[in-house]
Amino acid sequence: MKLFPIYMILLFIIAACNEPVKNEPMVVATNSWTAAFAKTAGAKNIVVLAPFEMVHPAEYELRAADIPLIVHAKVIIFAGYETMVKRFESGMDLKKEVLVKIDTDYSMATIEKSVMEIAQRLGTEKIALQNLDSIRHLLAVGRAQFDKTGLNSTPVLVNFFHQSIVREMGFEVAAIFGPGSLEAADIARLAKLSYGMIVDNFHNPLGKPLLNIKSDVGYRQLLNFPGSHQTTDLQDVIHFNILQLNLSLEEQRQ
């Protein structure tokens, strides 16, 4: 008797994850980050278009199999930076009330605003408020840790896409770099500043050239999109990023 090919089992698992749940409004999210906002808002039946394992999901191109999911979605959650957005806005004849554009960063103000926009569309405000309380507590505990140790008094250079979580944790921002690649003039300018840590973007790191100027500073890569390092939702990413910011220079080098 031949063993059932393992790849076929995996295909069935993937298909099951994307199979709409009966009696639940289908929510299509462009990537793991917008899906995490939808989950926090209380959505149950979420189909994610860009695979979780993509390092930079914003670059995902729509496939033929995605089109029926999009057409039949009750709500489509997107952020505006995705490559696929042009397809949503032209050529697919989608109703405007189906599209929900949200902001995505890790400031509490943005999280609350975006989550409640989705929840109001789905009628899940109660669960959304409960989840927001959990996130607010997580951020407050993290901030209290940094305030106690004084680590956040150290000036940092931070990637444009991570200034929100750094500011939430009370860090002094010496300068922001990105979102474009660093030019020689940028590196020379930033090298003159006083800072103890470089906070970069895991999904598109830009700050490593700065280590050639100052090798004795900390270097961290933070997440935005859940999926890497066993993260699946907003809380996971916040927890991971707080741990990364807490690493000592010695721990980082291990």
- Listed in sequence order, the DSSP H helices in the chain are 6-17, 32-41, 66-71, 85-89, 108-122, 125-149, 163-168, 184-191, 234-246, 249-253
Position 11 scores a pLDDT of: 38
pLDDT of 173 strictly over 90: yes
Residue 186's nearest CA partner among 155, 217, 207 is 207
Position 94 scores a pLDDT of: 86
> Distance from first CA to last CA of the chain, Å, rounded?
49
Report d(CA 164, CA 8) in Å as an integer: 42
pLDDT one-digit tens code per residue, 61-80: 999 999 999 999 999 999 99
Report d(CA 24, CA 235) in Å as an integer: 24
Taken in order of first residue, the domains within the chain and their CATH numbers are 6-127 (3.40.50.1980), 145-253 (3.40.50.1980)
pLDDT of 254 strictly over 50: no
The mean pLDDT value for 200-214 works out to 92
Give 24's pLDDT tier (boundaries 50, 70, 90).
Answer: low
**Cα distances (Å, whole numbers) of residue 137 to 14, 100, 130, 144, 182:** 34, 27, 11, 10, 36
pLDDT one-digit tens code per residue, 149-162: 999 998 999 999 99
Residue 159's nearest CA partner among 236, 224, 75, 216 is 224
